[in-house]
Amino acid sequence: MNVVASPRSRTRLAAASFALAAASALIASPRAASAFCRTTTVPVVADFQPSTTKCWDQGVPLFWRNSCVGYSVQKSASRQVAFEDAANGISRAFTKWTGASCPTEGTGRSRVSIDVRDLGPVDCGEVNYNQNGANQNVIVFRDATWPHSDSNNTLALTTVTFNPETGEIYDADMEVNTHDQRVTLTDPVPPDGYDFASIVTHETGHFLGLAHSGDNRATMFANYTPGATAMRNLTADDVAGVCSVYRPDGARAVLNGKVTPGPQCDPTPRRGYTGDCAEPAKKSCGGSSQVAASNAAALGSPGWMALGLALAGVLALRRSRR
Ligand SMILES: [Zn+2]
């Protein structure tokens, strides 16, 4: 059975941890032998590990409703990765997912029903969702500092903001840890290198709502082995995952049955698009969930209480232990 799940580590909800209709009935798929998991509205407990037969089964699975989603790369990119290389690599990574071919089940349509669009470079590098104005789903490199824990072992992190009742994703932001990690764009990848294409293919899976898979061959497996490039290419498990959420017929697998997205491709972020940050400079450009939540609380914005925020996608390094 396929149940939904959050990644095994470091998933946290914002301070506004409203009471959810937790432990709800989850999507049961008739497909067997898939290990993929979906991120949900309820954070996983710290010691949970997905397996080939078990996902985190609390909460509502996340999904993008619209048939198109926009994203933006922060324009200064990284000392390690020039903007053009970043934009090209991320585009290729998304295309792995959006080009996935699913079982047709007699309908004749096989491609997943989600597309992404690069909306161009943005100034803003904040992980944030502005409930009262325009937004961007930003992909940002952290050269100066890594504003999250376990920097030595973390390659990247994707944060997703969602409606805790429906699981609909409102915003997703991706951070790549170029402060403590040396990513490589070369091919072949050196034995101790961290392949940028692998990292962003994994993270774009989180961006689309997938969690870590228990299948250690999958792109969505939680750990990256230095020098490896396998995560660049989706496995059958990854394809099964994206196909289960963004079905070729356009429907979304959600909490109670399915939801059909709007027929049109509109990649505009929720509440409009902007290349600038929503608010004047905050002290921390990092914007952890706690920062976002406390800022929201300070602003007295009751709407925030209706949002969930998950640090949905750590890609960790797999290090050999002595
Ligand atoms: Zn991950």
Continuous segment of H or E residues that includes residue 45 = none
User: With bands split at pLDDT 50, 70 and 90, how would you rate the model's confidence at 9?
Assistant: very low
- pLDDT value at 25 more than 50: no
Spacing, Cα 205 to ligand 1 middle (Å): 8
* Residue-averaged pLDDT of the chain: 79
CATH topology for 68-317? Answer: Collagenase (Catalytic Domain) (3.40.390)
Spacing, Cα 232 to ligand 1 middle (Å): 14
Spacing, Cα 222 to ligand 1 middle (Å): 5
Determine whether 136 is exposed, middle or buried from the number of CB atoms within 10 Å of its CB (0-12, 13-18, 19+). Answer: buried
Spacing, Cα 265 to ligand 1 middle (Å): 27
User: With bands split at pLDDT 50, 70 and 90, how would you rate the model's confidence at 316?
Assistant: low
Spacing, Cα 52 to ligand 1 middle (Å): 16
Comparing 25-34, 97-106, 173-182, 303-312, the range with the smallest average pLDDT is: 25-34
pLDDT at 96: 98
Residue 217 vs residue 319, higher pLDDT = 217
Spacing, Cα 157 to ligand 1 middle (Å): 7
pLDDT at 289: 34
- pLDDT value at 52 more than 50: yes
Residue 296 vs residue 41, higher pLDDT = 41
Spacing, Cα 196 to ligand 1 middle (Å): 14
User: With bands split at pLDDT 50, 70 and 90, how would you rate the model's confidence at 308?
Assistant: low
pLDDT at 198: 97
- pLDDT value at 188 more than 80: yes
Residues in the 5 Å CB sphere of ion ligand 1 = 313, 315
Q: What is the pTM of this model?
A: 0.80
pLDDT at 317: 60
Contact (Cβ atoms closer than 8 angstroms) between residue 155 and residue 177: yes
Residues 301 and 23: their CA atoms lie apart, in Å, by 28
User: With bands split at pLDDT 50, 70 and 90, how would you rate the model's confidence at 309?
Assistant: low
Contact (Cβ atoms closer than 8 angstroms) between residue 118 and residue 267: no
Residue-wise pLDDT for 225-258, tens only, equals: 999 999 999 999 999 999 999 999 888 888 777 7
- pLDDT value at 222 more than 80: yes
Q: Which residues of 10-20 are buried (b: 16+ CB within 10 A; e: fewer)?
A: bbbbbebeeeb
Spacing, Cα 314 to ligand 1 middle (Å): 4
Spacing, Cα 322 to ligand 1 middle (Å): 24
Spacing, Cα 212 to ligand 1 middle (Å): 6
Spacing, Cα 249 to ligand 1 middle (Å): 28
